[in-house]
Amino acid sequence: MCVRLSYHHRAQGNKMHTEFCSREDYISDLPESIIETILAKLPITEAVRTSVLSSKWRYKWTTLTELKFDDNCVSNTRYRALAETSVVRFVNHFLLLHNGPINKFTLSSVCLRGSAYVDQWLLLLSRKDVQELSFRLGQGEWFKAHSSLFSCKKLIGLELVRCVLDPPLCFNGFPYLKNLYLQQVRIDPDAVETLISSCTLLERLTLSYFEGAKLTIRAPNLKYLMLEGEFKDICLENTPMLVVIFVAMYMTEDIAEHFKQSSSCNFDKVLGGVPSIQRLTGRSYFTKYMSLGIILGEIQPIYQQLKVIELSQVGFEDEKEIMVILRLILSAPNLQVLQIRSSSLATNAVDLDIWDKECLRDVTFKQLKVVKLTQMSGLPHEMRFIEFLLGSSPVLEVMDITQNVYVTIENEDWFVETLGFERASTEVEFRFAEDQA
């Protein structure tokens, strides 16, 4: 059957073609800065697909300076071996066609394991003067970083997860590195100390899930420190700029034995050289570690900028751990927020003489506004601590107390008893609750 197009139909077709061309021209005529912004915000697979938009867009994706690869780069991740092959093929193809510098490279893949391909990519990146590098590979396996990693002299940020690091003897550090994140990284303890101290511009440091390390940190520009793992010792030297410290210390039999044999004052080793500290968070056995060798005499040094203290798993039945808390808050005249999670279970008689010490008399916390105490059981030292804070905090606004529901004590009305304590602040609001955890 023959179909004839009328003048009207031909005109409509020409109009649609003109409109399509106009749209194509509109996309093609976008400013370079707009195109770059669009590509940078797209997932990397979608950025590649923009090559079909117009001839001007065809190779724009090859000049991206920030590359982020993950398992979403491939569609079939049901079978690990197949998914791994697909990811490797995609990354290889992308890097083969890439043109120009690479400022940031991120690779996060569950299916991808360390292989010769990863070594090749690191070698390529070292030649591209990469500035930010992140590798998170596999589950249950570690990959060994290729020696070319230590040739990335322009690095500003480095993130490695489940990696084996073996810096060469000739390695002198990353001269521009400001952010170092190592999680489940296997590295000789001396090597990690050398790595940290040789990166003189380092500002942020995270060491997560380290095992059995005696760690000394020397970093004159360090501002943020996060440590998590089974540390035997922690010593901060030459860290005058440090403002935020987070430490979570986990216990093993080996570490417990080391604690018993330790005679030095851990409080001084950790906090003796951090005059600029603003926020301190201690989790798990941090307070226990800090209590070794502590004395409550002259309060030195004074942390004028310390405004937030958070401690968990504090044993109020241990006088040494109480000394840690007291020494901290007495050395922080501008403290504003205090959060403590108790781990006390003992109900036996205890010596309360510590609360009559000279250094606790006439103490005033002039800036303390919020106190949050959780897992409290109404034990004698806990009650004296609450009484001490209420009587010494003239601007206190909130006293938030959460009871440990797993501990039964004779004094079930200890919440009510706290209401009868003398208060320096007339504006304090009491909040009582039972721990639901």
d(Cα 392, Cα 35) in Å, to the nearest integer? 60
Please give the helix or strand (H or E) that residue 94 lies within, else none: helix 80-97
Q: What DSSP assignment string belongs to 144-180?
A: EPPGGGGG-TT-SEEEEEEEE----TT----TT--EE
Which among 364, 435, 434, 430 has a CA at the least distance from the CA of 398?
A: 430
> What phi-psi label fits residue 161: left (phi over 0), alpha (psi between -120 and 50 degrees) or beta?
beta
**Residue-level length of the chain:** 437
- pTM listed for this prediction: 0.86
Which residues are within 8 A (CB) of 303 and not within 5 positions of it... i.e. 6 or more apart? Answer: 271, 274, 275, 277, 331, 332
Model pLDDT, residue 311: 97
Structure-block tokens of residue 413:
């009305």
Question: Can you give the pLDDT at residue 263?
Answer: 65
d(CA 145, CA 115): 10
User: Is residue 164 left, alpha or beta, with left meaning phi > 0 and alpha meaning psi from -120 to 50?
Assistant: beta
Instruction: List per-residue pLDDT tens for the chain, 437 residues long.
Output: 343 434 344 444 444 344 444 444 567 777 877 877 888 888 888 888 877 777 777 878 888 999 999 888 777 666 677 878 888 889 999 999 999 899 999 999 888 776 788 899 999 999 999 999 999 987 767 888 999 999 999 999 999 999 999 999 899 999 999 999 999 999 998 999 999 999 999 999 999 998 867 899 999 999 999 999 998 899 999 999 999 999 999 987 777 777 766 667 899 999 998 999 999 999 999 999 999 888 776 667 899 999 999 999 999 888 899 999 999 999 999 999 999 999 876 655 566 778 877 667 788 999 999 999 999 988 888 999 999 999 999 999 999 999 887 766 555 678 888 899 999 999 999 999 876 65
Query: 199 near 172, Cβ under 8 Å?
Result: no
Domain ranges of the chain: 26-64, 65-202
Q: Which helix (H) or strand (E) holds 352?
A: none
pLDDT of residue 22: 47
Cα separations (Å) of 190 from 57, 132, 164? Answer: 50, 25, 14
Whether the Cβ atoms of residue 353 and residue 381 lie closer than 8 Å to each other: no
* 3-state secondary structure labels for all residues of 46-81: HHHHHHHCCCCCCCHHHHCCEEEEEHHHCCCCCCHH
Tokens of 431: 């909040």
User: With contact defined as beta carbons under 8 Å apart, do 111 and 77 qualify?
Assistant: yes
- What pLDDT does 140 receive? 67
pLDDT at 358: 64
Q: Is 324 helix (H, G, I), strand (E, B) or coil?
A: helix
User: Cα(360)–Cα(219) distance, rounded to whole angstroms?
Assistant: 35
Check residue 123 and report its DSSP letter.
H
End-to-end CA distance of the chain: 78
Asked if residue 191 lies in contact with residue 167, where contact means CB atoms within 8 angstroms, the answer is yes
DSSP 8-state symbol, 110: S
Phi-psi region of 24 (alpha: psi -120 to 50; beta: other; left: phi over 0): alpha
Pairing of strands 337-342, 370-376: parallel
In which element (H, E) is residue 20 found? helix 7-28
The structure tokens 């511009």 sit at: 201
Q: For residue 352, give every residue at least 6 positions away whose Cβ sits within 8 Å of its Cβ, in sequence order, or none.
A: 380, 381, 384
